[in-house]
Amino acid sequence: MVTAAHLRNRQTKHDPEARYQAKRTLVRLLYRQGWERQRILDLFAVLDWMMRLPEGLEDKLWQDIEQIEGERKMPYVTSVERRATERGIQQGIQQGIQQGMQQGEEKVLERLLTRRFGPLSEATRQRLRSATLEQLERWTDNILDAATLEDVFKD
């Protein structure tokens, strides 16, 4: 398979369309061999490295691979991997939302403190940056009754 890829790569050096056709044929052969998934992935990685395609043809090849996988019922990415990826994405989204909420709360509190007590020291700004979301929320509530900046940070 690797030798065939090497030969076809040399033959199609200046013809991207012919290289695309050759790579597509080799990918089909990979799937027809009935090899275990890891072997297919390893050989595909070699083919992909050897037989580079322009971006448009690469996209077209991936569409072909999805079709081949559908025909063979041999997904390149298993359902387990797909679910793990989706879970990871969801966790990333949740972390992003949490960070966004914290940064928003921090900015609002910083603006309120500056309006109420004047310019903030670097130490106070650092305290805001290192605070948890719960602390920031509590301090935002405290600002309503605080007579001094120190009163805001009382727990």
**89 occurs within a structural domain:** no
Burial class (CB in 10 A: 0-12, 13-18, 19+), 105: buried
pLDDT value of position 80:
45
Query: In this structure, which amino acid lies at residue 85?
Result: T
**85 occurs within a structural domain:** no
**106 occurs within a structural domain:** yes
Contact criterion met (CB below 8 Å) for 143 and 152: yes
Name the residue range of residue 134's domain: 98-152
What is the reported pTM?
0.45
Residue 110 and residue 147 in one domain: yes
pLDDT of residue 142 exceeding 50, the answer is yes
Angstrom distance (rounded) from CA 16 to CA 153: 66
Residue scoring higher pLDDT (74 or 43): 43
Tokens read off for 47: 């083919």
* Percent of the chain topping pLDDT 90: 36
Count of structural domains, the chain: 2
Residue 54 and residue 102 in one domain: no
Residue 12 and residue 65 in one domain: yes
State the pLDDT confidence band at 79, using cuts at 50, 70 and 90: very low
**14 occurs within a structural domain:** yes
State the pLDDT confidence band at 72, using cuts at 50, 70 and 90: low
Angstrom distance (rounded) from CA 70 to CA 50: 25
